[in-house]
Amino acid sequence: MRQVAFLLLILGAQIGRAQDSLQTNIPVHDPVMIRQDGVYYLFATGRGVAMWSSRDMKNWKKEKPVFSTPPKWAVKAVPGFKGHIWAPDILFYDGLYHLYYSISTFGKNRSCIGLATNKTLDPGSKDYAWTDHGKLIESVPGRDEWNAIDPNLIVDGQNDPWLAFGSFWNGIKLVKLAADARSIAQPQQWSTLASVPRTKPGSDSTAGNGAIEAPFIVKKNDFYYLFASYDYCCRGEKSTYKMRVGRSEQLTGPYLDKDGTPMTKAGGTLLMEGDAEWHGVGHNAVCTFDGKDYLIFHGYDAKDKGRSKLRVEELHWKAGWPVIVKQ
């Protein structure tokens, strides 16, 4: 009987490999999702920007990455970068899909945010082709005490594009973009949205321990909501990632938590943190499909040696604040 069970297990594994386009527990980091023509597309950290597709948000097909080779401008701009691109963001704006992506090396703020656009997300379409527009924003050690990674595009009530971004250093930034969303608007308009004081200060070239990153802003009724990830990602079983949120009547802030503490002073109402099943959870996006809001994020699976995997939870709202209702 054991031999039969073993053979069935092997056969199942072979079938799984033959049908590896269908995966319900996919290994992703820093995911963001969008839908086109009934198909969900997921973009995540990976070589060339990882891309997946699905018709039900459960069974995922691995697509070819956005970039088949590392962008030449990025290799020149960031020493040590070899093609592993972080934390993309995707939005349909001004008739094109805009994909913002992060170029960096771990723990450094010699970083850049790039932009690529496409008419369609369907790899089978004759119009499918990514156009890379190169560098949009960069941070430079010795000049900037912020880090140009983790972009999120948000369009305000006047249809003006803004980019939120940031990781560690002195926190989350917001900058207004030009109307085509491909450069910084002039005169420049910058804001600091959230930060965590560094009790062990770094410098302009070292992060210190002010662990906050991965901003994502959504408008809901009368407020803008800023989601951010606090504490430490990328440590497998030792990850302490968690998501917090604040809100503001103005896109540029100030963002306050439920207690009225500004997010610029380490505020932020806890939305979700790790538990016995997931060591840490974070780097979220918020997406709306068919009138329902979803939290798209990754977690470190306690049942699989802390490996990072996709999680999708329906996002509810209670008394003006987002909540996750556990089943």
Q: Which active-site residues does the annotation give?
A: 30, 213
What is the C-alpha to C-alpha distance for residues 129 and 96, in angstroms, rounded to an integer? 11
What is the C-alpha to C-alpha distance for residues 179 and 111, in angstroms, rounded to an integer? 24
Phi, psi of 288 (to 5 degrees): -120, 120
Going by the DSSP 8-state scheme, the letter that residue 177 receives in this structure is B
Q: Which of 44, 156, 26 is nearest to 102 (CA)?
A: 44
Q: Which of 295, 306, 241, 325 is nearest to 33 (CA)?
A: 295
Say which residues have a Cβ less than 8 Å from residue 48's Cβ, sequence separation at least 6.
65, 66, 67, 68, 69, 70, 83, 85
Is residue 47 within a helix (H) or strand (E), and if so which, with residue range? strand 46-47
What is the C-alpha to C-alpha distance for residues 246 and 322, in angstroms, rounded to an integer? 10
Q: Which of 8, 130, 122 is nearest to 61 (CA)?
A: 122
What is the C-alpha to C-alpha distance for residues 309 and 296, in angstroms, rounded to an integer? 11
CB 285 within 8 A of CB 218: no
Say which residues have a Cβ less than 8 Å from residue 14's Cβ, sequence separation at least 6.
none
